[in-house]
Structure 1
Amino acid sequence: MNMNEQIKQWNAEAQASNADHPHRKVELLIEVRDGALEAVVPYLNRQNYRHVTLVEDEYTSAAAGQRVAKLIHEAGLTVDVVQLPPNAVGDVIADETYIMKVLLGVKDKSQAVLAVGSGTIHDLVRFVCYKMNRPFFSIPTAASVDGFTSAGAPLIVDGSKQTFQAVPPEAIFADLSVLAKAPQTMTAAGFGDMLGKFTSLADWQVSRDLGNEPYSPVANRITEEALHACVEHVDEIAAGSKAGVEVLMNALIASGISMLMIDHSRPASGGEHHISH
């Protein structure tokens, strides 16, 4: 069963659930496979998006951005490329300065925005798209975080990290050839994010039992199964093989969907994320 079929099943189970937690229907296209970048242009054509913006940095440009921009251009569509430069210490961060760079880079005629990168670029793009009322597409360049499907954007404002309302992607195109070439530290970060579900799920269950917090068995199971899939395939993930990053990427997406389904981060973010932030 591919991820799109799996989402339909999860939606059906959530709607049929008699849990005390409300569920919302999750609707997005997901492509996790070798050659997923080739699916971007056909999707843009189906949606009649003729003018789009691509947001990248120098590293994600080399990993996938240049390839995607070339495919879009060759298809006769218009693509504006916004390449975010590193700051004084060599980083791209999700703060007010970079939010403004993205805002200024998205032209009025642009119909959608493509986030090419990992967590930081996605957080910037999802927030800007929320403010500008534009759809965005996710093109991950590393299986590094479970926030690709998120509707919230952790941003650094006035030197403090805060999470703001944003929008989830309309579609995700995760190319295994790209993910397998990502730095091992990025893949390790994604695996570490999944290991954090051991404590986040426990935190949620404690809150349910001691604090009478609303709880969703469906969302809990989605995250738990994704976590165990990663543990069972730890050797392939550590090797950075296509098979390993496929398991990891699907797990990260599933974890994100569990949060999207219940409209908060409880099944995938607990005390470990609070400490990290």
Structure 2
Amino acid sequence: MSKRILVTGAHGQLGQELQGLAVAHPDDRFDFVTRAVFDLEDELQMRDYLEQTQPDYLINCAAYTAVDRAESEPEKADIINHKAVGFLAGWCAKNSCRFLHISTDYVFDGASAKPYQETDVTHPQSIYGLTKLKGEQAAQAMNPDVIIIRTAWVYSEFGNNFVKTMLRLMQERDTLNIVKDQVGSPTYAADLAQAILKIVYNVNWIPGIYHYSNTGRISWFDFAQTIKNVAQLDCELHSIPTTSYPTPASRPAYSLLDTKKIQKIYTVSIPDYESSLIRCLNQLNAQ
């Protein structure tokens, strides 16, 4: 039986990676929607679209992700990251639609010394993190059948992200200062998109929270160094502490996620960050 799969955030990194993978499933109907037709701030518009299309799966990749701007736009961030998510989860519960929602490492305070497990205590340190956590809670309250995937440090050949910014700046400048005391593991959106579809096409739907990022433990400085080496660029990199680069929203000092659960339950194999980075840079070179 064919599936009808609705994906929000079509112009985002994850949405665009999913579009690339959807062509391998010609028997199923994928609807990739943008804010123009599916605005998370417009409940009536969302309801109308859902009622008309009646999806079997809803993958919510859309979010308010401007971490610093959220500090001055808390209401807007809350509508998109929290209230809309609760609405979507509730609609799916009433209409036999599976709901998969993307969340973030920002729900934690970044004070851990070991990779965060799905059951660890949340303690967001920013408006963005708080609204994403409230979205998770609303989704689970409205729909016990929901799957939530937390991820971190997402990049791809699409949109704006750390990898593309570094490539551009390293070609424009002789030296760059990069934060060294924030630790995590990057996530190549193409790898996460494959994991999402592996869940959607699995015979078992096991609700709950899962963590996904590529393997490896690095700082932003280390990541920049790897980008420089792989891309064979000459820019000189200097490591700086977070205190030298103040931002309106605080960043987690530690963002590593324990991914054992998703690997075990859905037999998802997770590539290391460096091999995924090489794949992404090859894609960018081919464009």
Give the shorter-chain TM-score range. 0.3 to 0.5
Normalising by structure 1, we get a TM-score of 0.35
Higher normalized helix content (fraction of residues): 1
Normalising by structure 2, we get a TM-score of 0.34
